[in-house]
């Protein structure tokens, strides 16, 4: 029977229930990995750091003003036991599932277990190449794995390198620069036009993204860049803010067979009155609550066919330019002229299993008629076919 590893980083949660029977039934002795008693409607914890909690001010109209806020978001990109269980259950249709948590013991566990293929969903635990760690180790030991290779994962985590490659291949992306110290924030970039948007250069899951990142003046820019540099200890990307509609595009496949699933549009009118059209920290962690989910996503996006085709073409060009494999999520925003620009590429897309969660890739798959289990299995079979790994279905 095929041995399928699942590589993951587990989000620390309160002690309640161990990982479910899926992994145990696959021949593993499940460690007491815990899940939420009441999972929030988004996967990452809805917690502010103590230092920043006082900066969140409720407004009479229901909006929230964030003066200077940072999530306690060290593990925002990691997965809960619920997600790991759901992925393991889907993979179990093709063989024995082996739990491979991406800790310091991962290389030895991989060498000992020698799975036929690894389903990689590990975001990594430190450094600008963290998302490349698991696939690089898999390559070292000659173990096939799903998804993009270490180079693509590192490139896509570095927002400036991503944009450089996109620009080289003629894929539209906002004009930008990078600063590594507060002293470097000056007006010496006359080609960049306000308003400007800033973000940490090596983060995902909207870590470090709040309404304050939209800067209207040099004073705003200097203050927020200084805050991000201090908080995240990494360079900051400064790019021109695009005023148009925003979309996220799930891509499935390889080469000429890669396709864009139904496009997810963002309805910023769903945000509280007075909120800026930014899908960042506030939208994910403050306004989207289990008792009042934020209805911000529209799939399929209500757009003309001509715009849909242009967005799909732009998305696939970015996917190919960056060397993405099997699946990725590409975020696109329109500029003032209505031209689609790529603002992010995520080759390790979020895959929360609960339809009530705002997880865009599974949402797009469902609209395309692909169940959650079928989505996970499709990624596995795409990777297996690409690498010559023979799979045989053992259960429905």
Instruction: pLDDT band for 185, please (50, 70, 90 cuts).
Output: low
Instruction: pLDDT band for 295, please (50, 70, 90 cuts).
Output: confident
Note the pLDDT of residue 51: 32
Report the alpha-carbon distance of residue 151 to residue 194 in Å, rounded.
Answer: 33
235 compared with 288, residue with greater pLDDT: 235
Note the pLDDT of residue 55: 36
Which residue do the tokens 């815990």 mark?
34
Q: Summarize pLDDT for 115-174 with one digit per residue, the tens.
A: 999 999 999 888 889 999 999 999 999 999 999 999 999 999 999 999 999 999 999 999
DSSP string for 217-265: SHHHHHHHHHHHHHHH-S-EEEEEPP-S-EEEEEEESSGGG-EEPSPEE
Note the pLDDT of residue 210: 83
Q: Summarize pLDDT for 320-353 with one digit per residue, the tens.
A: 999 999 999 999 999 999 999 999 999 999 999 9
Check: CB of residue 118 under 8 Å from CB of residue 144: yes
φ and ψ of 248, to 5 deg: -125, 135
CB half-sphere exposure, 64, CA atoms < 13 A? 19
In 3D, which of 314, 323, 329, 344 has the Cα closest to residue 239?
A: 344
Q: Across-strand partners of 100?
A: 7
Note the pLDDT of residue 75: 57
30 compared with 349, residue with greater pLDDT: 349
pLDDT at 61 over 60: no
pLDDT at 253 over 60: yes
H/E stretch holding 87 reads helix 81-91
Output the pTM of the full model.
Answer: 0.83
Token readout for 332 is 């696109």
Highest mean pLDDT among 16-20, 27-31, 125-129, 370-374: 370-374
* Per-chain mean pLDDT for the chain: 84
204 compared with 143, residue with greater pLDDT: 143
Note the pLDDT of residue 279: 84
Report the alpha-carbon distance of residue 285 to residue 210 in Å, rounded.
Answer: 10
Top-level CATH class of 1-43+79-147+371-396? alpha beta
Instruction: pLDDT band for 190, please (50, 70, 90 cuts).
Output: low
What's the average model confidence in pLDDT over 45-72? 38
Instruction: pLDDT band for 76, please (50, 70, 90 cuts).
Output: low
Note the pLDDT of residue 32: 38
Instruction: Measure the CA angle with vertex 90, ends 93 and 293; round to 5°.
Output: 160
Question: Domain ranges in the chain?
Answer: 1-43+79-147+371-396
What's the average model confidence in pLDDT over 62-81? 55
Question: Euclidean distance between the first and final Cα of the chain, in Å?
Answer: 15
What's the average model confidence in pLDDT over 194-222? 86
């Amino acid at each position: 029977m095929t041995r399928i590893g699942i590589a993951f980083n587990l989000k620390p949660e309160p002690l309640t229930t161990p990982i479910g029977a899926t992994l145990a039934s696959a021949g593993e002795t499940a460690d007491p990995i815990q899940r939420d008693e009441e999972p929030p409607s988004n996967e990452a914890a809805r917690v502010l750091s103590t230092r920043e909690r006082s900066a969140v001010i409720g407004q009479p109209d229901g909006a929230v003003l964030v003066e200077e806020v940072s999530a306690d978001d060290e593990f925002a990109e990691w997965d809960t036991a619920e997600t790991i269980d759901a992925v393991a259950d889907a993979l179990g249709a093709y063989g024995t599932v082996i739990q491979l948590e991406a800790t310091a013991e991962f290389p030895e566990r991989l060498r000992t277990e020698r799975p036929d293929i690894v389903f990689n969903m590990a975001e990594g635990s430190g450094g600008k190449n963290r998302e490349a760690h698991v696939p690089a180790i898999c390559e070292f030991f000659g173990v096939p794995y799903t998804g993009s290779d270490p180079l693509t994962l590192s490139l896509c985590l570095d927002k400036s390198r991503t944009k450089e490659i996109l620009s080289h291949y003629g894929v539209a992306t906002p004009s930008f620069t990078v600063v590594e110290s507060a002293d470097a924030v000056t007006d010496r970039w006359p080609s960049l036009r306000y308003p400007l948007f800033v973000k940490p250069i090596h983060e995902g899951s909207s870590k470090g993204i709040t309404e304050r990142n939209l800067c209207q003046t040099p004073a705003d820019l200097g203050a927020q860049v200084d805050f991000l540099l201090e908080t995240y200890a990494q360079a900051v990307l400064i790019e021109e803010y695009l005023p148009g509609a925003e979309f996220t595009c799930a891509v499935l496949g390889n080469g000429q067979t890669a396709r864009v699933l139904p496009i997810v549009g963002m309805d910023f009118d769903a945000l509280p009155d007075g909120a800026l059209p930014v899908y960042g920290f506030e939208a994910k962690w403050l306004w989207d609550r289990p008792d009042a989910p934020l209805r911000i996503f529209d799939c399929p996006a209500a757009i003309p066919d001509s715009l849909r085709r242009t967005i799909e073409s732009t998305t696939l060009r970015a996917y190919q330019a960056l060397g993405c494999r099997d699946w990725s999520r590409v975020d696109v925003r329109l500029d003032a002229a209505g031209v689609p620009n790529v603002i992010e590429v995520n080759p390790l897309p979020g895959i929360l299993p609960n339809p009530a969660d705002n997880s865009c890739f599974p949402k797009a798959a469902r609209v395309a008629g692909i169940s959650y289990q079928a989505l996970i299995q499709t990624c596995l079979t795409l990777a297996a076919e690409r690498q010559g790994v023979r799979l045989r279905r053992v259960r429905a």
